[in-house]
Structure 1
Amino acid sequence: MNFFKVLVFINVLFGFQAFGQLQPDVCEQRIPHNWNVINGKLSMSSQHFKKGKQSVKWDWMGSDGVISIKDSAFESVQNDPRSTFVFWLYNGEKTDDKLHFIFYKGEKEMYRFDFNLNYTGWRTAWVMYHRDMTKLADDGIDRMEIKAPQSVKKGTLYFDQVIYYVNINPRSPMRDLQVPFVNLEGEKAANAHWNSLYKFNANPGYLPLAREISDKNTKQFSQITNRYLKLIGAKKTTIALDSLRKEYDFWNIRRTKGYVTGRMIYSTNDIELTSRDLLAKAKAANEKSNIKRYAQLMLSVAHLHKQTDDQRVKQETEKLYIDLLDHMEGQGWSYGSGMGALHHLGYNLADYYSSCLIMKDIIKQNGRLERTFKTMYWFSGLGRTLETPEQLPVSNIDVFNTLLGSMLSTALILDDGTEKLRYMQHFSKWMSHNVRPNLEITGAFKPDGAVFHHGTLYPAYGTGGYNGLAPIIYVLSQTAFQIDSDAHQQFKDNMLMMHYYTNPTRWPISISGRHPTGNWRIPDMPYAYMALSGTPDGKEKIDKHMAAVYLLINKNEKNPYVRRFKNMGIAPAVYPAMHWTLNFGLLDIHRRNDWLLTIKGHNRYIVSHESYPNANVFGRYASYGQLEVLYPENGETLASHFRDKGWDWNRIPGTTTLHVPLDVLRADIKNVDDYSGVEEMLLTDELFAGGVHLDKQGVFAMKLKGHDKYKMGNFKATKSWFTFDSLVVALGSDISNPTMEYPTETTLFQNYLGDKRESIYVNDTKINSFPYKNEEGIHTVLDNRKIGYYIPGNPQTVVYKENQTSRDQKDLKDTNGDFTGLYIRHGHAPKNQGYEYAMLIDTDSKKLADFASQMNSQHALYTVLRKDSVMHSVKYHPQHITGLSIFKSHVHLADKYILDNSRPCLVMYKDQQNQLDLAVVDPDLAFYEGDDDAPRNADGTRREASIYSRYWFKTPSKPTVIKMTIKGGWKKTDTENNQHQVEQTKEGNTMLTIQCKYGLTTKLRLTKK
C-alpha cells in the first residue's frame, strides 16, 4: 500500500473526514483578502512560521485592536455538530491576558471563546463550535473577530494554518493551558490516558515532601538511573556523524536574532486537518512520521555524544542537540501545550525522554534543565501518579507500553533532592496500584489473569504492556522504590497466564483481536526482567520460575540471559497438565502433554470481535465458540490449523455459523458514536457464557445469538464443551434461525494442507486423494493434525479436501490454499437442531477406532446425560466427574445430586464414596443488572453501539450468590471456607449458599452426614 493510501486509510480508521473541506493555507502567500484590521497592521512575515515559510503578522495598537474575517466556510458550521475552528499562533511575549475569538451573524454574537497568552512560541487550538465554545445564539455564522488582549497596550502575534471549518473526530481535541475549556468529557473517554494532560498537570500530590534525603536514597537514585540508562543503551544503534548531520539538515533549523525557525514538527493527529495536496507533499518529503522521526534523531545524537571520546564530535553533537531541543520547544512541543490534539503520543515521543535523560548534564550546562523537566512532565503525564490511590483512573496498556519509561525518565532527570524523592515515591505507589487486578471492563489486568485492552482479552496489546512494565519493575527492584510484593506477585501471575495460553510463543487466533494472522508472539524479555527482579517475597534475587519460562521461549544458546540462567542450573519450564478459565476474557484453556486447547465465546459484556477498515474485516464469527488446538512449533507437525491463504472465514473450528458469501460476511464498519473510532465491536444480548474447572478438567458453555446489524438477531444456538484429559465432548442444542437464504453449519475443523497429499482417515479408511469429498455415513475422522473426531448418530456431515479461494483478513487481495475440513449441516432455517461430537487430541487411527468401539459398549468413556435448553451435562467415567451447564434456574434438572439452582450456572462435581467435590461458577459478571441495555430501533431490533458508550463500561463486576439444593444430607469439610454455607432442609436435603465473584471458580468439599 503506498503512503497516500495509508493516510487515506488512517483517516477512515479514526473517523477523520477532513478531505475536501479545507481552504488553502491562508497564511502563506499573501494577507488574506477577507482579513480586515482595526487599530493595527497586517503583514506577511518570514520571521516565524509553522507550515511553509511565512505567517501573517499582526501588530495591534490599543485594547480595541481587531481582526475581522468574513468567509463562506462559516456557512457549514451550523449543520455540522463536529464543526471545528483551528489555528496556530506565535507569541513572542508571555502575558497573563487572553485573545478573544467572537463569531457573528451580522452584528449578532453567535459563539465565542478566549485563548490564553501565557506562553512564548507556537501554540494551537482545536475548538469545536457546538461543544466547546460559549454558544450565545444559533442562527448560523458569516464572520468572526479576533480581539486583542485588554491589558496590553500594543503587541505582535503571528497566525498560521487558520482553518475556519473542519469536521473532526470529537474525541480528538484536548484542553491545555491555552484552552482549558475544550473537550472536558475527554478526561472520561477511552483515550483519556492521552487527553488528560491538563488534569494530570493539576494534581498536587498526596505524599508529604521530606525534609531531606538520605545517603541511601541518593545511592539508589544512582542505581536506578544507571540501570535504566543501560536499558536505553542496549537498544541503541550507532549512527555516524555524517548521517546525523544529513538528518539534522532535513529539519532546516536556523537561529536568527535570538529565535529559532525550522521545519514544522507535527503530531499524529494533524493528519485530521490535512488536505490531499499536503498529503502528497508529505509523501514526497518522507514526513509520514514527523514527531517520531524528530525524537529518533534526538536519541541518536544523544547516543553518539555519550559514546564518543572525540571532543570535537562531543562539541558538535552538543550543539546539534540543543538546537533540536530549542526548536522542538518553539514549535509548541512545550509545557502546557496540547498541540490541538494528541493520541498515541507515547509511541511517537518515547525517544525524546530517553535522549533528555542521557543528555541531562548538557541540558543543565546550557541552562535548560527546568524547562526540559516541565515539558517532559507535561507530555509524559507524570502528574497522573500524584493522584490519590482511591481517585486513580484504571490501568491502561497504552500507558504501560509507551509512557512508563518516559515517566521514569522525567523523575530521574531531576537533581537529587526531596522533590525527586517525592516523585519517585509517587511513581512506585502508582505502579503498585496499576499492576493489581481491576474489576471493570476497562483497565488492564483482571482477577483471573486476563490482560485487557479495548474492553476484551487482547494479548497483542498485553505484550506491549509487559514490555513496558517488566523492565521498569526490574529497574526499581531491590530498592526502596520497588513495587509492593503483592502487586509483584499479581503481575507475575498475569504474565504466567499468558505463558499458559501460548504454545510456546504463539497464542490462539481467537484472541488475536483485529489481527488474525497467526504471527503474533509472546515476548521473551519481560520474563527475563521479571526473573532479574527477584521473587515477589524478596527472598531470592533471581526468580527461577520466570527464568525457566524465559528459557522455554528463548532457546538461543548465545543469548547472555540464556547462558546466565542455565549456568545457575535452571531448566526450561514444562507446561503443567491443567485447566484454566478466564471468564473475564471468555477463554477456556486446557493443556496436556505438549498441546494447548482453547475455546472462545462472547456475551453481553465481552465483544464478539474487533474489526477495523482493512483489519479482520471477516471476523464476525471469531468468538462463536472457536476451538483451537496448538501444537509446539516444529517441522514435524503443523502448529496451527490456520493459514490466511484461502481460509473460509465462515468455517472457524468449533463455531456454529450462518454460511454466507464473503461480500455478506464483510464487516460494515462505521463510526457509530462519539465514543469510538471507525470500528466494529459487537455485543450479543445473551448473558450466559463462561467456564468452570475441577481437578484439571473443565466445562465451557455459551448461549449464542447473532446481532441484528446483520439480520442475525434470531440466529441462536446453545453450545457447550466438556474437556476431560485428551477428550473433548462438544454439544449443541436449540440451533434455530429463520434464514432460508443461507445454510447453518457447525464446523469441527478446517485445517491448512501444506501438502495436498497429507492423509486423513474417514471411518478408519486412509484418504490421500485430492480433491476429496464425502457426505454420507461419517462416524469417525482423523485429521492431518493427529486429532480424531467421533460423531455419534447420523447427522448430515461433510468431510473434504479441496482448494479454497477467499480474501485475506485485510480484504486487500484474493487468497488461495489447500484445506481439509469437517462440518455438520443443520440446513436452511433450522428449528431446534443439535449436535454431539467428541474429539481425541494427539491420537492415531487405531486409538480412534478403539475409542469408537468403546463408546458403543458398556464401557464408554463418557455419557451425555442431558442436552436441551435447560441443561447440557456429561459424565466422564474414568474420573467420576460430571459437568453441567445449567442455562435456567428453578427448573427440574433430573440430576443425581443437584435438585435446584437459583441462578444459571456452571457446575462440576466429583463423587467418590461419601465425599462430594464441587466447583461452581456464576458466568454473569454482573456489570449491570436487568435486561440488555443496547439501544433499539423503532422495530425493536438492537442497534449497534460502541462498548465505550455503555454506562457500565467502567463499573466493577459485582459478586453474586447462588443457592443450590443438593440431594441428601451433607456437611462442610472445610469449616474455615467462608465462600459457602450449608444448611439442611426439612426434606432431608442440603441447601448450599455459594458466594460467587468475578467469574472465578468457587470450590467446596462436602462429606455425607
Structure 2
Amino acid sequence: MKRIYPAFLLWLTSMGTMAQGAPAFTFENESALSQWTATGGELSISGEHYKDGEKSLCWEASNGDVMTASFNALQTSGAAFFYVYNCKVSEDVLVIDFMRNDDVKRTAKVALNFRGWRDFDRLYSEYTNGGVTTINKVRFSLQTSDSDKKKIFFDSMNFNATANSSREHGYHMILDREQLTGGTSRLDIYANPIDIAGEPTEEEIADFEAIRDNLKEKLDFNPSGNITSINAARQYAKGFNIVRNEDGTVRGDVIDTRANSEMMSVDNLKTLSKHVSALAAAATKATAKDSDKELFENFIDHLLDQGIAEGIKYKIAPNTYTPIKEVPKGFLQAMDAYTPEQRVEMLKMIKWLSEFGMAFYPEGSYLNRFDSDVIYTYLPTFFGYVISQPTVKEGVTQLKAMKRFLERNTEYSLGGRDILKPDGTGFHHSTHYNNYMYSYKVWVEYINYLKGTSFRISQPAYERLKKAIVSEYIMATRTSGDTRHIANSLCGRNPFGQGGVSVQFTKNLFADMISVGGDIMGKEMDEDLAAAYNYFFMSDRYAVPEQKYEGFYPFSYGRLGIYRMDNWVATMRAPTAFSFGAEIYSGQNRFGRYQSNGTLEITYDGGGLNVSGYPTNNGAGWDWNVIPGATTVHTVAWRDLMPASNTTGRHDAFGLAGSYAGALASKDRECGIFVSDYGQVAYGDFKYNTNLKFKKSVFAIDGMLISLGSDISALGTYNSEMNTATNLFQNIISSVSGPLVVNGADISDTYKETDNLDNNLWMITPHNTGYYVPKGNDAVEIIYGEQKTPNQNGSDADNPQTAAVAAKAFINHGFAPSNGSYEFVVIPNTTKDKMQDLAAKFGDDGGEIYKIECHTGQLHAVTYKPKAVTAYTFFDTADDIAFGHIKASETEQLVLLKESGTGMNTRLDISVSNANMRDESNSTWAFLPQPTQTSITVRGNWKLADNMEGVSIKNENDETIISYELSEGNPIYFTLIDINATGLSGNAQLAQWVYLSQDSTHKNARLFFREATKQGTVLSVYSSSGTLFYRTVLPEGMTSYSLDNCSVGNGVNYVQVVQAADSKVFKWIR
C-alpha cells in the first residue's frame, strides 16, 4: 500500500535533523523529545499509532498533568496544526495554552469525545484575543473526571503552519465553537441538540420496526458483494498492513484524511464504501471464514482510527447528486456486520457526512435553511441512518425527527429562499424553478413510506405539498401518461430538454399522494386530488365528482400567469429585479437571454414537444431571437446573444431595479391579467448594451388573450442591423404540423413577407393558434422556411449545424425604438372559420368584442364587451381617468371590474392585486416583499356589499375611495353596491302601498298606508348595513304610523313593511 503524505509532512520528514528550537515536530526518533518536558505523566516515542511516518509522541497522563514544548519565538500570523489520537471516547478535555514565556496569549480546548486521530487546524486569529502576538511555548494540560492514566498520541505538529483553506472543524472543537471563524458549517449542524425526548409507545415501536424492515429492502441496505468484488475488497484491506496492538487497538498504513487529499476524493470514497460493503457480505454470510471476519473488524477499526469517522474532511454538497447517495451507502449496508462500538462510531460518521443534524435545527432557525437539493439527494441516506440506529428507542426518536423534517420543509419560506411558496410555486436558486422540483418525487416517495403509521405527516404539511404538486400540473399540458410539458420560459437552464420542460413528478407518484392524503384524512383517498388526477391524466380511474382546472391562475412568486382552457395552456412570464428569467451556465442555455422576456407561449395537450411546435432536439434549429410573446432585440451574430460572447460565462438574466411581473385572476378564474414592467440590465462584459425596456399586459378572457405593449425602447450603442421586435410565434414544422394561414391563405412553402398593416391581419400557426393584429401596429414580418441555428450549448455558434423548417412572425419595432407599442389578440385552438368570424367581429378598435380604453405607459385598460369586464393595468399613479367607473388609482396595481345589474341594483365585482411585490434585498432571504398601501377611487356613492377586514371605504364629493393593503401579489375581492341598495327584494305591485313623510326637522317620519294594514303586518327599522334597530307588529286596520327620532343622523336608513310572507315593501329615510 502506497502511503499518501501531506506536502508539508514530506517537508518535515526531509528536515529530520531540524535546528533546535524550530516550532515543528515529527516524532520518528528520540531526539524529537529534546524540546518537550512533562510535569506529571510520561513522554515517549511510540510506534503504536502514527499519522506521519511510523511513530508519534505518546503522552501517558492523568488529570492535571502538563506537557510543554519550547521553541524559537514566532509571530501568531499563521496557524497551529497537529494530529491528536485518543484511545477511547470520553468527556476528557485537552487544554492548550500558547505562551510567551509564562504569559498565556491564546487558549484552546479540544474535547476528547472521539476515538482515533483528529486534526487541530486552527488560525491564531480564531481566538477571543486574536491579534498578532509572539509565542515561544505551547502547554498541554489534561482535564479528566477520574484519576485513571490515559494515553494520548500526537503527530505532525507545526505551530507555525498555514491553515488548510478547506478545513472543517470536527466535533472535538465544539468547546471553542464561538471563537472559530471558518469551517464550522458541518460542526454547527452536527451539534444541533436532539430535542425529541420520551419513551416510545408500543404503536411507535411496531411502526418503526415495520418501516425499518420495509426500507431495508426498498433501499437495498444489505451488504453487497460477489466473488470478484469480495476478492478486490480483501486485497484492498490487506494493503493497509493492519495489525493489533497489545491493548487491542490497531495500527497500519497512514490514510491521508486532510480536506482535498487524494483519499478524500469522490471516487476513492465511493470505492472505499463499496469495499466495506463487500467485506461485510463476506463476513456475515452463513459460511463466513474467520479470516474474513477478522479482516473486516480490523479494517473498520483502522478506518475509524485514521479519521474515516465523525469529522471526516469530505464534504458532500447537496448538488452533487450521486455521491451523497453512493458514498454512505456501503457503510450503511455493512451496519449489521459492525461490532456494537463500531456501529456507534460509523453512525456518527454517517450523521456527520450526511448532515443529518439538519433534522434538529432549533425552532425559529430552520425556515431559511431549506434546500430542494437536500430533499432530492439526502433522504435515502437520512432514512438509512434512521433505520440503522442501535436501539429501537433511538430509532423512534430519529424517525420522529425525520417526520418533522419532512413536515417543516413544506412550510412557506420567505422571499427568495427554497422551497415552497404560498402561491404554489417551488423555489431554487432564489427563483421559481420547475426543473429542480424533481425533489417532489423523493419527497412523496418517503412520505409514502410513512403512510399508515403513527409517523405519517400532518395534514397541513400534506396540503402545502399537494398545492405545490397541483400547481406544477396546472402549468403543464395534459396527457394520459408522463410526457406532459411546460412552457420553455420555465425551463431554467435546460431549453427544450427533458429535464427543463418536462414534468418529472410521475403518474404513479400522483396516485401515491392521493393514497397518502386519504390515510391522513382517515378515508380511502383525497377526493380533491383524485379529481385532479382524473383531469390531468384524462382518466376516470377515481369515482369522484369532476373538477376542471381551467381558467386563469396567477403565480406571483413565479412572476407568472397561466391561462388554460380545453386542450391548451397559455404561459406568461417575465424577469424581475430579484427573479431571473433565464439561467445560463457553461455549455447550457447559451442563447437563453430572452427565454422569458415577457413571453406568451401556447402549448397543447398530447405529449410530445412537437405538438406545441417546439423543437425536440434541445433547441437546435430554433431561432433564439424569436421567443413567442417576448420583446427582444434580434441579434445578427449568434455569438452576440451569448453572455460575454462565449460558451462558458455563467449568467442569471435579471431585470433592472424596479422591474416586476405578476398576475391577477378574477375570483371565479373566468379572466385574468398578466403584467410586466421590465428594464434590461447592462451587465458590462455580458454585452447587454441595448438597454431594452418595455411595459406589457395580457388580458385573458373567454379563450382569448388581448395583449398590449407600450414604452418599448432600446436606446443603446449597438449594431444598427439589430431591430427590436415583439415576437408573435415560432413553430418548428414536423409531421403533426399543418399549414401557416395568413388572412385565410395556406402557406406550406418558403414565404417571407412584410405586412405594413394597412389592414387588419389575422394568422393561424401550423399548430392552430390564431393571431389577430389590428392595423396601426408596426409592420409584421411573416416567415416560413428553413433556418439554421446553433445548439443550445453554443458549440456551433459561429457555424450552426442544425437546420429546421419553421413558421414565425414578429412585430418589427425597428432599430433603437424610443416609444414603441403593440396590440394583438391570441386565440388558441382555432380554425379558419372561427378566425375569419372573429376578425370580422373585432373590426376596428375591437369592434363588438373589446375596446382599448387606454394604452399608455401609465395605464393599459381593456373592456371586454360581452361580459362587461374591464381590466386595468396601472403602471403608476393615475388620476382623472376619463372612462369607466374607476377615476383614480393611488399606486401601480391590477384591477378587474365586472359590472352587472342596473340602477340601484348595480353591482361592481372588483378584484385587485399588486404584481409589484416591491421586493427589497435581504441578506438572509435574498429578497423580501413589502406591502403596498393603496386605493382606487370610483365614481358615485357606493358601499361594500359585505364588510371586509382590511378594506375601508369613504364617500365624498359623489365619489367613493376604497383603501386596502396589498402584499405578496395576493388578491383582494370585494363587491360594491349602490349606497342606497338594501339588498332586499321588494314587491313591485305593492311599491306604492306605503309612502313616507318626514317633518321639517327630518328627525321624525310618518308612514301612510293606502290600504289598511292586515293582521300580522310587521314593521322593521334598519341601518344601511342591515342592522335591525326596531321591530313591531302593527295592529290590523291602521292607515298610518308615526316613527319618532327616525333619521339618517340617528343611523336609520330604511324601513320595511311586511304584510305577508311574499309581500314586503321598503322605504328609504331621506
Matched ranges for 1:426-825 at <5 A:
426-464=401-439, 466-504=440-478, 505-520=484-499, 521=502, 522-524=504-506, 525-535=508-518, 538-543=521-526, 546=529, 569=542, 576-634=549-607, 638-642=611-615, 643-660=618-635, 661-668=637-644, 680=652, 682-694=654-666, 695-696=668-669, 697-710=671-684, 712=689, 714-741=691-718, 742-754=722-734, 759-770=739-750, 772-777=751-756, 779-793=761-775, 794-814=777-797, 815=800, 816-818=802-804, 819-825=806-812
Deviation at 1:135, TM superposition (A): 5.3
Instruction: Tell me, yes or no, if structure 1 residue 203 matches structure 2 residue 192.
Output: yes
Which of the residues 830, 834, 837 maps onto 1:847?
834
Deviation for aligned residue 1:496: 1.1
- Aligned in 2, Cα 1:962/1:93: closer, same or farther, shift over 3 Å? same
Q: 2:367–2:411: 8 Å Cα contact kept in structure 1? A: no
CA contact (8 A) 1:700 1:720 kept: yes
> Would you say the 8 A contact 2:96–2:107 is kept in 1?
no
- TM-score normalized with structure 1 length: 0.77
Q: CA deviation at 1:768?
A: 1.8
Q: Does the C-alpha gap of structure 1 residues 27 and 249 become closer, same or farther in structure 2, counting only changes over 3 Å?
A: same
* Aligned: 1:136 with 2:111: no
- What displacement does 1:609 show? 2.7
Task: Give the whole-Å Cα distance in 2 for the aligned partners of 1:242 and 1:573.
Answer: 57
**CA shift for structure 1 position 437:** 1.8
Describe how 1:147-166 pairs up with structure 2 within 5 A: 149=140, 156-159=153-156
CA contact (8 A) 2:565 2:703 kept: yes
The alignment status of 1:329 with 2:324, answered yes or no, reads no
Contact kept, 8 Å, 1:735 with 1:833, in 2: the verdict is: yes
How many residues are matched? 900
Specify the code of the residue in structure 2 equivalent to 1:532: S
Which of 874, 884, 889 lines up with 1:896 in the alignment? 884
5 Å matches for 1:853-932? 853-856=840-843, 859-913=847-901, 914-928=906-920
Shift of 1:732: 0.9
**1:291 alignment partner, SS class:** helix
Deviates more, 1:316-325 or 1:886-895: 316-325
Q: CA offsets, 1:225-274, max 9 Å, x none?
A: 234334314x999864434543675675653335366796989xx6xx58
Q: Structure 2 matches for 1:2-21, cutoff 5 A?
A: none
Partner of 1:177: 171
Using the alignment, how far apart are the partners of 2:571 and 2:295 within structure 1?
54
| Structure 1 counterpart of 2:85 | 91
Distance in 2 of aligned mates of 1:63 and 1:669: 63
> 1 CA distance for matches of 2:494 and 2:222?
29
Unaligned runs of 5+ in 2: 30-45, 60-65, 144-149, 479-483, 982-1070
The Cα shift of 1:757 comes to: 9.2
Q: Letter of the aligned partner of 1:650 in structure 2?
A: N
What is the rounded CA distance, in whole Å, between the counterparts of 2:477 and 2:293 in structure 1?
48
| Structure-1 residue corresponding to 2:1047 | none
Corresponding residue SS for 2:337:
helix
> Which range moved further: 249-258 or 392-401?
249-258
| 8 Å CA contact 2:48, 2:55 repeated in 1 | no
Q: Deviations over 1:322-355 (max 9, x none)?
A: 6775565345342244547866578523356666
- Which aligned pairs between 1:64-79 and structure 2 lie closer than 5 A? 64-65=68-69
* Aligned partner letter, 2:945: T
Question: Partners in 2 of 1:128 and 1:848 — Cα distance?
Answer: 74
Matched letter for residue 754 of structure 1: S
SS in 2 for 1:620: helix
Alignment root-mean-square deviation, CA? 4.7
- Call closer, same or farther: CA 1:101–1:691 in 2, change over 3 Å: farther
Residues 456-504 of structure 1, C-alpha deviations (whole Å, 9 max, x = no match): 001222212x123212222223333322211211111111111211224
Q: CA deviation at 1:730?
A: 1.6
3-state SS of paired residue (1:893): coil
Indicate conservation of the 8 Å contact 2:110/2:175, yes or no.
no
Alpha-carbon distance in structure 1 between the residues aligned to 2:50 and 2:603: 57
In structure 1, list runs of 5 or more residues that go unmatched: 1-22, 79-83, 556-564, 934-949
**CA shift for structure 1 position 872:** 1.0
Counterpart for residue 3 of structure 1? none
The 5 Å alignment of 1:275-314 reads 289-295=267-273, 311-312=286-287
Aligned to 1:978: 949
Q: Report the residue type matching 1:348 in the other structure.
A: P
Aligned letter for 1:467?
K
Deviation at 1:692, TM superposition (A): 0.3
Give the drift of 1:316: 9.2
Residue matched to 1:81: none
Contact between 2:487 and 2:571, CA under 8 Å: does it hold in 1?
yes
1:214 to 1:619, Cα distance in 2 relative to 1, 3 A: same
1:590-613 deviation line (CA, Å, top 9, x unaligned): 111122221111222322332232
Distance of aligned partners of 1:708 and 1:386 in 2 relative to their CA distance in 1, 3 Å threshold: same
Question: C-alpha displacement at 1:679, in angstroms?
Answer: 5.4
CA gap 1:26/1:623 in 2 versus in 1, 3 angstroms:
same
Shift of the 550–628 alpha-carbon distance from structure 1 to 2, 3 Å rule, reads same
- Name the SS for the 1:839 alignment partner: strand
Q: CA deviation at 1:127?
A: 6.2
Contact residue 752 and residue 817 of structure 1 kept, 8 A: no
**Change beyond 3 A, Cα 1:462–1:57:** farther
CA apart distance, 1:119? 3.8
How far apart, CA to CA, are the structure 1 residues paired with 2:832 and 2:224? 57
Contact 1:439 1:447 in 2 (8 A): no
In the alignment, is residue 1006 of structure 1 matched against residue 980 of structure 2? no
- Asked which structure has the greater CA Rg, the reply is 2
Which secondary structure state, in structure 1, belongs to the residue aligned with residue 517 of structure 2?
coil
1:532-583, CA deviations, whole angstroms, 9 ceiling, x for partnerless residues? 313375222433555676688889xxxxxxxxx98x7569998521221111
Report 1:134-283 matches (<5 A).
136-137=131-132, 149=140, 156-159=153-156, 174-178=168-172, 196-207=185-196, 209-210=197-198, 212-233=199-220, 240-246=226-232, 249=235, 255-257=242-244, 258-259=249-250, 273=260
Correspondence list, 1:927-942, <5 A: 927-928=919-920
Q: Give the aligned residue type for 2:654.
A: L
**Per-residue Cα deviation, 1:625-680 (whole angstroms, up to 9, x for no partner):** 1222222344795245245113333332221122233333322499x9xxxx9654
**1:115 and 1:179 in contact (8 A); partners too:** yes
After TM superposition, give the deviation of residue 688 of structure 1 in Å: 3.4
Corresponding residue of 1:12: none
- Give the aligned residue type for 1:721: V
Partners of 1:678 and 1:237 in 2: CA distance: 42
Cα–Cα, structure 1 residues 519 and 735, in superposed 2: closer, same or farther, change >3 Å? same
For 1:372, what is the secondary structure of its paired residue?
A: helix
Q: Is the partner of 2:497 in helix, strand or coil?
A: coil
Counterpart Cα distance in 2 of 1:184 and 1:376: 25
Shift in CA distance, 116/145, structure 1 to aligned 2, threshold 3 Å: farther
| Mapping 1:31-70, distance limit 5 Å | 31-33=13-15, 36=18, 38=20, 41-43=26-28, 55=53, 58-59=56-57, 63-65=67-69
Q: TM-score w.r.t. structure 2 length? A: 0.73
